[in-house]
């Protein structure tokens, strides 16, 4: 399973908080890297650099600059689960589910595009949570993946 990060923020004591597309919030202690990778010690001198952490394109990792980065799998595996995100964003939930379905079907974006007639760039947008597909498009994707499309409405708890 591939884990992708939707957002990241720097916290106190060289901790980062990563929100994954699947809704999990994971905290990661960057201090542990200071001894293993000396280039990370720069944060002790340049605290403002630490605060400039961003998510890389596609959500497969985070970075501060060209020399300092971490991949999403490391954060997922070595971080500490904090909680599930309270309200899952529908586009990002769809992005995560589509990516997982495509990987389960063992297909590339290009292969899925060829099977469905949907541009690879549009599939990429959907997997990054920035697309707005019609039900017809979702049905074509499900068919191309050899899967069934399921749409569900769930009653929210009243306050």
Q: What is the pLDDT of residue 130?
A: 86
Confidence of residue 156 (pLDDT cuts 50, 70, 90): confident
Rounded to an integer, the average pLDDT of 94-99 is 88
Class of domain 90-145 as given by CATH: mainly alpha
Q: Is the full-model pTM beyond 0.75?
A: no
Architecture of domain 5-84: 2-Layer Sandwich (3.30)
Please tell me the least confidently modeled range out of 118-127, 129-138, 146-155: 146-155
Domain ranges within the chain, ordered by starting residue:
5-84, 90-145
Q: What is the pLDDT of residue 88?
A: 64
Of residues 3 and 116, more confidence is placed in: 116
Of residues 41 and 90, more confidence is placed in: 41
HEC string of the chain equals CCCCEEEEEECHHHEEEEEECCCEEEEEEHHHHHHHCHHHHHHHHCHHHHCCCEECHHHCEEECCCCCEEEHHHHHHHCEEEEECCCCCHHHHHHHHHHHHHHHCCCCHHHHHHHHCCCHHHHHHHHCCCCCCCHHHHHHHHHHHCCCCCCCCCCCCCC
Q: What is the pLDDT of residue 30?
A: 97
Q: What is the pLDDT of residue 69?
A: 96
Q: What is the pLDDT of residue 100?
A: 87
Rounded to an integer, the average pLDDT of 95-99 is 88
Confidence of residue 81 (pLDDT cuts 50, 70, 90): very high
Of residues 153 and 111, more confidence is placed in: 111
Q: What is the pLDDT of residue 61?
A: 96
Instruction: Examine the pLDDT at 87 and tell me if it is beyond 80.
Output: no
């Amino acid at each position: 399973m591939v884990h992708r990060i939707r957002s990241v923020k720097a916290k106190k004591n060289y901790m980062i908080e990563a929100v994954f597309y699947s809704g999990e919030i994971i905290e990661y202690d960057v201090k542990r890297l200071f001894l293993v990778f000396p280039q990370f010690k720069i944060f002790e001198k340049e605290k403002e650099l630490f605060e400039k952490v961003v998510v890389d394109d596609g959500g497969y990792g985070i970075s501060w600059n060209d020399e300092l980065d971490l991949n999403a799998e490391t954060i997922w595996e070595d971080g500490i689960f904090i909680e599930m995100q309270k309200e899952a964003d529908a586009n990002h939930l769809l992005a995560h589910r589509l990516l997982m379905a495509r990987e389960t079907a063992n297909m590339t974006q290009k292969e899925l595009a060829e099977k469905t007639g949907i541009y690879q760039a549009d599939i990429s947008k959907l997997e990054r949570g920035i697309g707005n597909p019609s039900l017809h498009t979702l049905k074509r994707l499900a068919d191309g993946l050899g899967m069934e499309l399921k749409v569900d409405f769930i009653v929210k708890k009243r306050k």
